[in-house]
Amino acid sequence: MPRMACIDCGVFVAEAESWQAMLVKMMQHHLEDHHDVISGHTDRPAGAWMERFMMAYRAAEASDAKVP
């Protein structure tokens, strides 16, 4: 099962069987600890967070696939 750290702080780590389930876990964390990201009060363009999330999740999946 892929294991992934928060792409904004690296402190929160979650495991989930799909990117959708991981997104739910990360969104809960972001609502609690990264409200500025959720509310759009950052310098990043809209959609950039989801792109970064999907790249990180795919990397977690690839890493998980290598574990025997």
pLDDT at residue 41, as a whole number: 62
**Closest of 42, 12, 17 to residue 28, by C-alpha:** 12
The Cα 34–Cα 66 span in angstroms is 31
pTM of the predicted model, to two decimals?
A: 0.82
CB of 41 closer than 8 Å to CB of 49: no
The Cα 6–Cα 68 span in angstroms is 24
Domain ranges of the chain: 3-60
Q: How far is CA 24 from CA 37, 39, 49, in A?
A: 15, 16, 14
pLDDT digits (tens, 9 = 90+) for 1-59: 999 999 999 999 999 999 999 999 999 999 899 887 777 666 767 688 889 999 999 99
pLDDT at 68 over 80: no
